[in-house]
Structure 1
Amino acid sequence: MYIKDILSLHSSFKEVRLNNRFFKHEDIIALIKKLPATFKVKEAGKSVKGLSIHTIQWGNGPVKVMLWSQMHGDEATGTMTLFDLFNFLQSDHESVTLLANNCTLLFMPMVNPDGATVFTRRNAQQIDINRDYLQTLTPEAKILKQCRDDFEPHFGFNLHDQNTLWSVKGSRKPATLSYLAPAYDEALSVNDTRKNAMLVITEMFKHLNLVLPQQISLFDNEFEPRAFGDNFQKKGTSTILIEAGGYQNDFEKQEIRSFYFASILTGLISIASSSYQNQNTDSYFSIPQNTKQIFHILIKNIAINGIKTDIGINYEEKPYLNGLGTEKTYFIEDIGDLSYCDAYTVYHTENQSIEGDIVFNQNASFKLYSDQNLILSFTDGKLQ
């Protein structure tokens, strides 16, 4: 199936009841309850605050694949996409038959429902679940760990969101997607388990790069001994990390969601058909690395303090107490030669001028003019 066909399919199967990043446990439970009998739903356990965590099994094939999302409560793209995939798996598309006959899929959407409630990374014990594999202090980590051990999947999809300020080395474009076959030791060794994850990623990249050229990268390859992906790889599950990054004017990641869906479906089809075996690890290592060469806002060649220079501005995003939205606070990230950088929004016009003070590492509080026309304004970090 061609990548453009997959992307066109997504609009038909997108779960419209999940239309931003701030949905909660009760929203996905309502959707889970409506799944037909072909999806075997089981409560795997409860979160710190007693919210249910479910597994959903589908298919009858010999190759077992486990997909889990939202270990971090504020990383919701993977969960949205899994529900899109559930809709697709109820269709009569030929790929559904391929998957059903060759794979058994086990899904665990929203591993961290307490974090999702308040839209924060950590669980209710203030612990990062993805750094709790070894000690398993959190009930959520225990559940995820036990489910993998019981199911013994051949492949795993670890679904996350990354900071929107990651870029692709060599392109200075946002890393809209990042992939990784996590390491299982300090030496970053490659055994058959990790190699198979690399080959699936190579197949995904081959297709997605056609529609996201220079906007896909490899995530940080450093071994993290406390993380689930690294340890699942070590235990024999070929683990594929997918990270949703940034895309122009897509704050709620609804455009990225379609690319994420295409990534997962392409990966699953390659596993079901064994087409990933036609790839090679050299192609995996040729995927460009993540880097940080972008800002949220870049003002170029502007006069401040008697010199002409560049100003890089980023925002910090914090959730409202009700977990139903976020507040952005903009600050001065850098001042100087930023000619090697880019941004989601760039201001570079003739006769630019600034009213107000530019102070490194402080909240943005100034007005930007072009030919005496106001084009950008901040008050104590808030975009006006």
Structure 2
Amino acid sequence: MIDYLLYKEKSINGRYINADIIQPCFSKLPFPLIHIGNSVDGIEINAFKLGSGQKKILMWSQMHGNESTTTKAVWDMVNFLQSENPLATQILKECNLLIVPMLNPDGANLYTRENINKVDLNRDAKNLSQPESIALRNLFKSFQPNFCFNLHDQRTLFSAGNTDKSATISFLSPSSNKARDITPAREVAMKLIVGMNKMLQKHIPGQVGRYDDGFNDNCIGDTFQMLGVPTILFESGHYPKDYEREKTREYIFLSMLEALKIIAEDKIDMYSTGDYFSIPGNQKLFFDVIIENPELVNPEIEQGQKIGIRYKEVLDVDKVIFTPEIVEIGALDRFYAHKTIVCVDTKDFGFNSAEIKLLDLLLKTKN
């Protein structure tokens, strides 16, 4: 059993992670950085290698600048791999890792999905219109990996199937064509996902989802899978009461190590593609907050209706603020909430109209 806290990189936390914040992590690496290019705004994009084995794994994080959980987990993994743990020794002996902790530093600065040109780098695999996209593709060509880990975050609205369990971690073995055929590369990625899911069910049972596999050759994962390299999409999702995604970070760390362990030990074929399809597909069934009985406070709302609220992530200097927004009013019978507010009496809450004073309400929370 790995003691995660021994390896957690304590210098980085929260949701806002930019290039300046991870510089101390780069600085303490005992090996040279590999400069793979610059962002549109001129920020260096760096990578580094770990291990001396024959099994080559390319991984990159923060392709979307506002998806930082996996970046934190990558540095936790790097700390582990530099330890004397026997698993770390085995992985470095069998594997050769090439890691890009932050592919989109401009987007990270601005806390946006796109780069500074407002281009989604994960929809630029064909056009290669942006320097960040070109840097990754050139790295892929020169390194010729045997496996790729595409590291992302997903929104709090996802459930693990048609359940009241949020999708804390989701995976995808991307499609290689419109028919979604199970090609050899896709099969290998599926088996690795099954192995990670088996481990995760011991920690977060029912909280692992399978991301939609609709084919899009503009996506980098689909492209690399088409090129015959097993590619896994990691999606960091919501763990209860963990909007800073520090707990999810731990499960991503454990997932990456499990995948590397399976690769290092040549145990991929121990797992079945059939079990991949038993992982429940993600559904969009969660609100951050559902308000029940709102008609007791606002008579303009019909009896039996509920208010669904989702948070908008807003950068305030160097901190992400979760701003509540009403996105739906209705029966919401099929939906779940990370928090539920039950209106009991008009004196309990301070709103008068459809423009609810949400901050007052959120103090009156029933979990």
Give the match for residue 319 of structure 1.
315
CA distance in 1 between partners of 2:160 and 2:313 (Å)? 22
Among 278, 294, 302, the residue aligned to 1:286:
278
Is 1:192 the counterpart of 2:184? The answer is: yes
Where does 1:223-242 land on structure 2 (aligned, <5 Å)? Answer: 223-242=215-234
Alignment partner, residue 336 of structure 1: 330
Q: CA deviation at 1:173?
A: 1.8
Instruction: Name the CA distance, whole Å, in 1 between partners of 2:330 and 2:102.
Output: 42
- 2:102 maps to which of 85, 110, 113: 110
Distance 1:368 1:54 in 2: 45
- Greater displacement, 126-135 / 308-317: 308-317
Residue-by-residue CA offset, 1:286-332 (whole Å, 9 max, x unaligned): 10010011111112344344523322222222223x3x123333222
Taking only the aligned residue pairs, the percentage that are identical comes to 35
Q: Distance in 2 between matches of 1:271 and 1:62?
A: 11
Give 1:316's aligned amino acid. K
Equivalent AA in structure 2 for residue 91 of structure 1: S
Cα distance in 2 for residues equivalent to 1:198 and 1:161: 19
CA–CA distance in structure 2, aligned partners of residues 72 and 128 of structure 1: 7
The TM-score normalised by the length of structure 2 is: 0.92
Q: Which residue of 2 aligns with 1:65?
A: 57
Query: Which amino acid in 2 is paired with 1:18?
Result: I
In the alignment, what sits opposite 2:364?
375
SS class of match (1:291): strand
- Tell me which residue corresponds to 1:275: 267
Q: What is residue 17 of structure 1 aligned with on the other side?
A: 11
Q: Which amino acid aligns with 2:170?
A: S
The structure that is strand-richer by fraction is 1
- Structure 2: runs of 5 or more not aligned: none
SS of residue paired to 2:304: strand
Aligned residue for 1:375, secondary structure, equals coil
Aligned match for 1:266, one of 258, 270, 275: 258
Tell me the number of residue pairs that the alignment of Structure 1 and Structure 2 aligns: 359
Match of 1:205 in 2: 197
Residue 34 of structure 1, CA deviation: 1.3
Task: Report the CA distance shift for 1:60/1:344 in structure 2 as closer, same or farther (over 3 A).
Answer: same
Q: Which amino acid letter does the alignment assign opposite residue 319 of structure 1?
A: L
> 1 CA distance for matches of 2:63 and 2:359?
40
Return the TM-score normalized by structure 1: 0.88
Match of 2:84 in 1: 92
SS at match of 1:114: helix
Is 1:308 aligned to residue 304 of structure 2?
yes
Q: 2:312 is aligned with what amino acid?
A: E
- Change in CA separation of 1:338 and 1:113 when aligned onto 2, cut-off 3 Å: same
Question: Does the 8 A contact of 1:174 with 1:246 survive in 2?
Answer: yes
Counterpart position of 1:49: 41
CA contact (8 A) 1:199 1:277 kept: yes
* Structure 2 match to 1:160: 152
Note the C-alpha offset of 1:33: 2.2
Given that 1:42 and 1:54 are in contact with CA atoms closer than 8 Å, whether structure 2 keeps it comes out as: yes
Q: What is the CA distance between 1:215 and its match in structure 2?
A: 1.1
Q: Is the 8 A contact 2:159 2:284 kept in 1?
A: yes
Alpha-carbon separation, structure 2, partners of 1:365 and 1:35:
48
Measured against aligned partners, the alpha-carbon deviations of 1:37-79 in whole angstroms (never above 9, x if no partner) come to 3xx5211111111111112111111111111000011111111
